Structure 1
Amino acid sequence: MIDNFVSNFQDGVFHVLHLKAYDHILFLIVLAVPYLFKDWKRVLLLITMFTLGHCVSLALTTYDIITVNVKLVEFLIPITILIVALFNVFTSGKKSHGKTIGLLFFATLFLGLIHGLGFVGTFERLISSSESKLLALLEIGLGIEVGQLIVAFIVVFLSFLCQTIFRFSKRDWVMVISAIVVGFVLPMIITSEMLS
């Protein structure tokens, strides 16, 4: 029982921190980069909404409620990253960013649904020998949450360093990091479009 929990938990953390699947990390970077430590509740809620979206889509596919078009999902994942990065670029330094937080929570939940669909194949292999699919889903989901919080903490910590020690303005920091992520994502979109 404990061994299963540890294994599933580690699989969830590894899913997030796996460098070959860096799209997850890129999304978390653009999701967390506008925030500092004082915004920890907001960051936690955004991360949890993203995890919830992940878990809901995994549950829907595991219990055969929906089916996945893999090529479409592979195209949509970098699109979601691009959308959040561009949102950061266009709202950076504006007061409206705080007002749109409700919309951002729902958008993050929706984007989590899409990203979760990209994990379906791996997830089904991971739980194939599990006695309880639901329990395995919750254990992996907890690992995903912890992995995402680790990435978000690193991003927020780097934001803190760059804005306090190196005196980057928040606007410039968010725009530069988001633009770098756009530079990573555009080739992913082009490649996924060429493969479809």
Structure 2
Amino acid sequence: MDEFLFYLNQGINHITDLAGVDHMAFIITLCAVYKVKQWKQILILITAFTIGHSITLALSGLKIISVNQQLVETLIPITILLTAIYNIAKKSDNNKRIQLNYFLALFFGFIHGMGFSNFFRSMMMGIDDESIIFPLFSFNLGIELGQLIIVGSFLLLNFILIKSLAIKHREWNLVISGAGGGIALTMIIEHLT
């Protein structure tokens, strides 16, 4: 049980660590376009993202796939930027757009999972591949719980600000998506220079 809690906490801390703003910025930007009353769609969206990053984290952790970490560290902020642009350009809530969001979250999850894998593999130094399954599950569960903490906090802030300050949801989306895009551009420039 101690080992489970250790890796669970590592996953939660990794995703909620303010020093690792990239994954947090992605999740917040991903949710910016949704209203609090769309919490079920947000849950499905975050689950699609989790499925994507869980698959590549497992494949990378088990050394089935290997990717250039410099490339992944550049692709992660690109996913944030593309999500921000999509949110700003989005005009309607039709079902095709919602289904596209789920697909994009799944696909971008693959990229973010590769980013998580570097941290995870550093924790697994000296552990054989057969012994990695349980820590991998615990770490992944921790990342999911961390994401839910971020999303829950974000939705609470969204609800409080929109209700108390009478902010229109479109303005909220523009500010949050714009901030996410700005953070992403800064990170892309840093990785490329």
1:1-196, aligned counterparts within 5 Å? 2-91=1-90, 94-96=91-93, 98-128=95-125, 129=127, 132-194=131-193
In 1, Cα distance between the equivalents of 2:96 and 2:163?
25
Q: Are the counterparts in 1 of residues 76 and 111 from structure 2 also a CA contact under 8 Å?
A: yes
What SS does the corresponding residue of 1:178 show, helix, strand or coil?
helix
Higher mean displacement: 43-52 or 33-42: 33-42
The residue identity in structure 2 corresponding to 1:55 is S
Residues 144-183 of structure 1: CA deviation (Å, up to 9, x unaligned)? 1110011111111111122111011111110011111222
The count of aligned residue pairs is 191
In 2, Cα distance between the equivalents of 1:163 and 1:88?
18
Q: Are the counterparts in 1 of residues 69 and 118 from structure 2 also a CA contact under 8 Å?
A: no
Q: Are the counterparts in 2 of residues 73 and 117 from structure 1 also a CA contact under 8 Å?
A: yes
Q: Are the counterparts in 2 of residues 73 and 114 from structure 1 also a CA contact under 8 Å?
A: yes
What SS does the corresponding residue of 1:165 show, helix, strand or coil?
helix
What SS does the corresponding residue of 1:82 show, helix, strand or coil?
helix
What SS does the corresponding residue of 1:19 show, helix, strand or coil?
coil
The residue identity in structure 2 corresponding to 1:175 is L
In 2, Cα distance between the equivalents of 1:64 and 1:4?
22
Q: Are the counterparts in 2 of residues 35 and 156 from structure 1 also a CA contact under 8 Å?
A: no
Structure 2: unaligned runs, 5 residues or longer = none
Q: CA deviation at 1:63?
A: 2.5
C-alpha distance 137-99 of structure 1, shift in aligned 2 (>3 A): same
Q: CA deviation at 1:98?
A: 4.7
TM-score by length of 1: 0.91
What is the percent sequence identity of the aligned residues? 41
In 1, Cα distance between the equivalents of 2:62 and 2:169?
44
In 1, Cα distance between the equivalents of 2:13 and 2:156?
21
The residue identity in structure 2 corresponding to 1:76 is L
In 2, Cα distance between the equivalents of 1:177 and 1:98?
23
C-alpha distance 30-97 of structure 1, shift in aligned 2 (>3 A): farther
Q: CA deviation at 1:29?
A: 0.8
Q: Are the counterparts in 2 of residues 17 and 147 from structure 1 also a CA contact under 8 Å?
A: yes
Structure 1: unaligned runs, 5 residues or longer = none
TM-score by length of 2: 0.93
What SS does the corresponding residue of 1:49 show, helix, strand or coil?
helix
Q: CA deviation at 1:30?
A: 0.6
